[in-house]
Amino acid sequence: MTRGSAPTLYLPIEFHKMGSFRRPRPRFMSSPVLSDLPRFQAARQAVHLSSNSAWNSVQTAVINVFKGGSLQNNELFLLNENIRRLLKSELGSFITDYFQNQLLAKGLLFVEEKVHLCEGENRIDLLAEVWDHFFTETLPTLQAIFYPVQGQELTIRQIALLGFRDLVLLKVKLEEMLPVGQTKVPSSIVQMLLILQRDGILEPAPR
């Protein structure tokens, strides 16, 4: 069954002997038995709570990573399982949007605020430190958490790098940190610009 296609229902057909004019009553067309309603509602609520629990576990882990925390033993396996469960649910098609517009935006806000709180010449060094941690720790962990999300137009890596560009780099105004004529640029800043350009996140500078 392809995504978005309506499921095909196979209704049981009740056959009668020749000569019987009694029309069979479709079993699935009958009214639900009142005694079954609480059980149906409880099952539906359980599915809803399970989805909420999965979302909450992913959100908590991602925000913790952005705050400098690390995953606990066996946590990555559980997070992957939760995401696989969500992919199979009605929420599956929204996982990438949720990551980009909610989790990533909220996590990078902590990063951007950290740079803004620093003033003077030290800001460029702090940005270099922030990039180092993002690229070597945060980004690989995000890719590992969302590993089950495959086949999207943009990968989790690309989405995260785009987010870093828009929500951190452009907001802290790198060009103002690098006065004209300054020749000593931290190597991490050079690496950041090269990686963002290589991945198509930044346009190459005009010659």
pLDDT at residue number 205: 55
Write down the pTM of the prediction.
0.72
Residue 75 contacts residue 57 (beta carbons within 8 Å)? no
The span from the CA of 46 to the CA of 34, in Å, is: 19
pLDDT at residue number 183: 62
DSSP helix, strand, coil percent of the chain (3-state; round to 5): 65, 0, 35
Task: Dump pLDDT digits (tens) for 11-29.
Answer: 343 334 434 334 434 333 4
| Averaged pLDDT score across all residues of the chain | 77
pLDDT at residue number 83: 93
pLDDT at residue number 65: 95
The pLDDT confidence band at residue 66, using thresholds 50, 70 and 90, is very high
pLDDT at residue number 116: 85
Encoded tokens for 106: 């909220």
- DSSP element (H, E) containing 166: none
Phi, psi dihedrals of residue 96, rounded to the nearest 5°: -65, -45
Residue 128 contacts residue 184 (beta carbons within 8 Å)? no
Single out the residue of 129, 201, 130 nearest to residue 193, CA to CA. Answer: 201
Question: Cα 166 to chain center, whole Å?
Answer: 17
Task: Dump pLDDT digits (tens) for 124-171.
Answer: 899 999 999 999 999 999 999 999 998 778 899 999 999 999 999 999
Q: The dihedral of CA 189, 193, 198, 200: what is its sign?
A: positive
CATH topology of domain 40-198: 5 helical Cullin repeat like (1.20.1310)
